[in-house]
Structure 1
Amino acid sequence: MSEMFRSAPNENQIMSHWDQPCDCAVISIWCPTYNHDNYIEKTICGFLHQKTQYPFEIVIHNDASNDDTDKIIKKYKKLYPNIIKYIKSRENQFQKGIKPTRLASKYCSGEYIAFCDGDDYWTSDLKIQLQAAALKRYETKDICLHPAFLMRGNSLSKIRNNYSNHETILTLDFIIRYGGGVMPTSSIMIKSKIIYSLPNWFDSASEGDTFFQILGSTNGAIYLPWPMSIYRCNTTSSMSNALKRASKEKLSQKLKGQEFCLDCLDRDLQYQLHDAITELKAKTRMQYAQFYLESLDNKSFRGLIGDSWSLKKSVSKRQRLLHFLRHMPWMIRILIKGNALRWKILNLKDLCHLKKNN
């Protein structure tokens, strides 16, 4: 992982590598941010260190932050007026149900859009050059991704989404079955035409990333084997943490929205990948079952994990564990609290022994 956070090059130095005028951005870097004053400077520096022949713009959307995020962005906007485009909302758009992806289609002008949330950052100064070149090389493909370093707190824990040690094409079936976690947001570059043509049902999704990744992968997704970004896990403003704090009614509403979109996707794909979508539905219900588990709503937890199992059995070791222990949610919480829950190690034999002795 290269050290990128030395002094950023000035605007003229960045643009000196471009083969076109700066007002003709080929790549738009889309950065939605909310209360990221602890992270946003590192994020912006990762953008400014990009070395590419293609002109790029940095489009930052501040979704009504109430910390020092605005102050930090303005400092960089002043230094890079021809590269940074800054949009600040007076009212939080996400809380109104407006997806950051929809806003990207409104403000980004490039042929390609590279995504990075304001609490993540890039670690390679060739990231967008390599991805844009790959999308030009594979003319029929619309999206490109790579592995990312997972960061917990201030420590790197592992590399996630590492599917191969060489460049390859991931199939749409694989993308759907894996679900929204198949692509770290900070790893994605997509052709803007996909974002401009998102279907109306997309706005009903509680987690829009899942669907624009799938819609961008109808012809397959380009996978580059180099980890070139950081994905921060469980920051205070993350979607997963927001869902953990949500009310029972809010969770139910969001689950219905997600499943409505899966039904629409199934229809639009003419049911050719119905089994894969059913598997994703099962994983979605399992995910929401865990939110209810954490909020101590045992009845809803049992109902959803049972529904998940009925839709498709054994979609993961996690689902098998949760279903097996669905009548003992207190035990699952104890295991989680003690950091003893190892989804990849525990198997059904272990669980049978565990139940026999309780």
Structure 2
Amino acid sequence: MKTKVSIFTLVYNQEQYIAQTIDSFLTQKTNFNYQIVIGEDYSTDKTRQICEDYQKKHPERIKLLPSLSKNIGLISNYMRTIKACDGEYIAICDGDDYWIDEYKLQKQVNFLDNNPDYSIVGTNYMKLYKDNRLVEDKKDRKKAYYEFNDLIFKNLIPSVTALFRNVPMKDPLPNWILNFPYGDWPTYLWVLKNGGKIHFLEDVTAVYRMEIGVSAKIRKTLSDIENVNLNILKYIASDNNFLHKNDIIQTSIKQTKKSILAEYNREKKYLKGLKLFIQILIQQKYKFTFIKFYTYSLLKSIK
């Protein structure tokens, strides 16, 4: 039977979480075939054994990628795992997150099947903190739909909620993604580069664990996140596959630099902020407006 959805799961040292994650996949109620593709990255705890036990119980459902001889890191594992996804659609859920709506996949597949002009569908979700607080993250979406020109400024799609058309199967992701600590945002941009819209269901379907994992370390410092995003944008700008999107990409690059400048001041990294200010000012068309922006950002951080 043809696979409709590949559930894309990255796993590393998550023995206390992975069973709950896989169980939340197995309880999905669908009228189509789906597979669970697990990329396990040479864990040092019992994660691999737990995954193997599940695979033995559900061989028709679970595709556990071959064990590795060493840890290859999150993004290399991301790239090898997404290549193993051969479903029409891909859903993402990391090995420490889980789904709470047993009809999540069915709802999202129904939408994409019935709306061929859409390529990605997300949902609302819950944030789970270390003290076991569950907080609903329900966005007030101001638009009926979003597209590449929205996503290029900010990743709007929580990966634990995402379902998207498997564009990478026929049009493989670029290797420059390997330079970065996360691949979901570049992947969504790749999927949308030649068209397609984003839709968000109102349903709360998933739980995202806060304050753990590799990306949590980066998120602690906002200027670090923005610098990663800036470098991703620079690679996108130099990629000929995005040439037709150059104007909006350049606009996003300029806005991201301003965001980094504001974050440097907020984080009291004034020397870094000053260096970036001078760099931007030289290239800035409306210098007086930019000087006002920098001055306001600086004064606000001091106060």
Contact map agreement 1:305 1:323 (CA 8 A) in 2: no
1:144-173 CA distance string (max 9 Å, x none): 1112212222211231444269xx422322
- The answer to whether residue 62 in structure 2 is matched with residue 89 in structure 1 is no
1:37-65 CA distance string (max 9 Å, x none): 22211111110110001111111111122
- Which of 122, 127, 132 in structure 1 is aligned with 2:109? 132
Letter in 1 for 2:127: L
2:205 aligns with 228
Letter in 2 for 1:163: R
Q: Distance in 2 between matches of 1:303 and 1:104?
A: 40
Report how far residue 189 of structure 1 moved: 0.9
TM-score by length of 2: 0.78
1:116 aligns with 93
Report how far residue 187 of structure 1 moved: 0.8
2:217 aligns with 241
Alignment partner of 2:50: what SS?
helix
2:271 aligns with 299
Q: Distance in 2 between matches of 1:105 and 1:273?
A: 27
1:283 aligns with 256
Q: Distance in 1 between matches of 2:96 and 2:258?
A: 27
Q: 1:138 to 1:255 in 2, by over 3 A?
A: closer
2:3 aligns with 25
1:274 aligns with 247
2:29 aligns with 51
Letter in 2 for 1:89: L
Alignment of 1:1-358 (within 5 A): 21=1, 24-87=2-65, 88-94=67-73, 98=76, 100=78, 102-153=79-130, 154-163=132-141, 168-177=144-153, 179-180=154-155, 182-194=156-168, 196-197=170-171, 198-217=173-192, 218-235=195-212, 237-242=213-218, 257-264=231-238, 268-270=241-243, 272=245, 274-275=247-248, 277-279=250-252, 282-283=255-256, 286=259, 299-300=271-272, 302-304=274-276, 324=296, 326=298, 354=303
Q: Distance in 2 between matches of 1:305 and 1:60?
A: 44
Q: 1:254 to 1:48 in 2, by over 3 A?
A: same
Q: How many residues align?
A: 290
Contact map agreement 1:50 1:125 (CA 8 A) in 2: yes
TM-score by length of 1: 0.68
Q: Distance in 1 between matches of 2:142 and 2:226?
A: 37
Contact map agreement 1:59 1:84 (CA 8 A) in 2: yes
Letter in 2 for 1:117: D
Contact map agreement 2:233 2:249 (CA 8 A) in 1: no
Q: 1:60 to 1:311 in 2, by over 3 A?
A: farther
Q: Distance in 2 between matches of 1:114 and 1:276?
A: 26
Q: Distance in 2 between matches of 1:277 and 1:293?
A: 25
Identical columns (%): 23
Unaligned runs of at least 5 residues, structure 2: 287-292
